[in-house]
Chain A
Amino acid sequence: MEDSKIKESSFILKAECISQTYLNEAGASLSLIQGTSFEVQEGEVVTILGAASSGKSALLRIIAGIEKPTAGTVTFAQYKDLRTDAAFIPTEPSSLPWLSVSDNIRFAVKGEKDPDQVNSRIKEVIEAVGLNGYENHIPANKSAGFRFRIALARALASEAKVILIDDPFRDLLPERKMNYYRLIREVSAKMDFSILWATADITEALLISDRILLLAKEPGGTPGAIVKEFRLEKGRMPAVSLLASKEYAEIRHSIEQSLYS
Chain B
Amino acid sequence: MSEYFSEKRNFRKYALFSGYVLIYILLFEFIIPAGSFLPKPSLVLESFSSLQVHYGFLVNALYTVSGIYLSMVLAYGIIFLLRVPLLGLLLKRRDFLDSLGLFKYFTAISFITLYVYWFPVSNLSEILFTFLVCLIFLINTVSLSAAGVKRSYIEPFIALKAEDSFLYGNVYWKGIKPGLFASFERLNLYLWSIVLFFEFVKGYMGLGNIYRLALSFKDLSALLAASVLVAVMIALGELIIKLLNRKLITWES
Contact = CB atoms under 8 A, between A and B. Distances in A.
A84 interface: yes
B252 A65 contact: no
Interface string A66-95: 100000000000000000101111111110
B242 interface: no
B156 interface: yes
Contacts of B158: 64-66, 88
A18 interface: no
Nearest to B251: A97
Interface in B135-167: 150-153, 155-162, 166
B194 interface: no
Q: Could you say which interface size class chain A belongs to?
A: 20 to 34
A61 B158 CA distance: 10
Contact of B250 (A84, A86, A93, A140): A140
Interface in B205-253: 250-252
A2 B92 CA distance: 40
A50 to B, nearest CB: 20
B173 to A, nearest CB: 10
Contact of B161 (A65, A96, A97, A98): A65
A90 B152 CA distance: 6
Interface in B69-108: none
Nearest to A140: B251
B180 to A, nearest CB: 13
Interface string A125-169: 000000000000010100000000001001100101000100000
Interface of A is mostly: loop
B174 A87 contact: no
Contacts of A84: 160-161
A157 to B, nearest CB: 10
Given A91-B152, A96-B171, A64 B159 contact: yes
A92 B175 CA distance: 15
A107 B171 CA distance: 11
Nearest to B174: A98
B159 A92 contact: no
A87 B157 CA distance: 8
A108 interface: yes
B160 A66 contact: no
Contact of A90 (B155, B162, B166, B174): B155
A61 B152 CA distance: 11
Given A96-B171, A97-B251, A158 B152 contact: no
Contact of B251 (A87, A93, A98): A98
B92 to A, nearest CB: 15
Contacts of A65: 158-159, 161
Given A92-B150, A96-B174, A107-B166, A66 B159 contact: yes
A86 B159 contact: yes
Smallest CB-CB A-B distances: 7 pairs:
A92-B152, A88-B159, A64-B159, A97-B251, A90-B152, A94-B152, A98-B251
Contact of A164 (B157, B159, B166, B250): B159
Given A61-B155, A107-B162, 9 more contacts: A84-B161, A88-B159, A90-B156, A92-B150, A92-B152, A94-B153, A98-B177, A107-B166, A140-B252
Most chain-B Cβ atoms within 10 A of its Cβ — which of A86, A91, A107, A108? A107
B159 A107 contact: no
